Amino acid sequence: MMLAISCTKESKIQSSVKTDESLNSSVKTNLTVVIIGTQTWMTKDLATSTYRNGDKIPQVKNSSQWATLTTGAWCYYNNNPHSGKLYNWYAVNDPRGLAPAGWHIPSDAEWTTLTIYLGGVTVAGGKMKETGTAHWWTPNADATNSSGFTALPGGTRYYLGDFFDAGGYGYWWSSTEAASNAAYYRYLTYFYGTISAGTDYKTNGFSVRCLKD
């Protein structure tokens, strides 16, 4: 399902980047954050392997096992430790907390707030993407990163366990459930500057970006 978000007049972007020293040492300290409108976002995707209370999140490499999960798990893209971490939605929704203290996984409505502030769906993605083609495939169209969000194309682990799209697409979970087996997410792509919304199976592996409480 695709959702459309629009606004009548593009807002002027006013963002600032700073460091935040409130994160516990099991995640990262002095992590950079960016203020975009009324929201404060991390400038990097989550890379934790533990819940907020210190419990370990299982790393699941096997595709068949991944496809049948109904509890939280993470993996590296292509099981390559030099790639970013992807999480299923069960980890996002775990009551032990995936985000560090003082932070949370953005709801679908909070993603919409960001999109509207950046001028709407057709232009917000370009303002969020890292510029250049060091990580994104050519042409990385419309990328300016004028928001400071610095989105990277982490790809996805499909709900059946296979890996797709690193370099071409970035996918990020919301905390909002869409159905008993699905949740809302956002994605960006290399070939235009739109940010798109949809729903997909909770067993998919997507990146996670945190928003300050």
What is residue 92's DSSP assignment?
H
Residues 6+ positions from 169 with CB-CB distance below 8 Å: 153, 155, 156, 187, 188, 189, 190
Instruction: Please state, in angstroms and rounded to a whole number, the distance separating the CA atoms of residues 175 and 75.
Output: 19
Question: What is the pTM (predicted TM-score) of this model?
Answer: 0.87
Instruction: Please state, in angstroms and rounded to a whole number, the distance separating the CA atoms of residues 164 and 190.
Output: 14
When pLDDT is cut at 50, 70 and 90, the band that residue 17 belongs to is low
Name the nearest CA neighbour of 208 among 90, 36, 125.
Answer: 90
Domain boundaries, the chain: 21-212
- Per-residue pLDDT tens for 84-138? 999 999 999 999 999 999 999 999 999 999 999 999 999 999 999 999 999 999 9
pLDDT at 18: 52
| pLDDT of 176 above 90 | yes
Q: Is residue 113 within 8 Å of 100, Cβ to Cβ?
A: no
Locate 48 and state its tokens. Answer: 């934790």
pLDDT at 105: 98
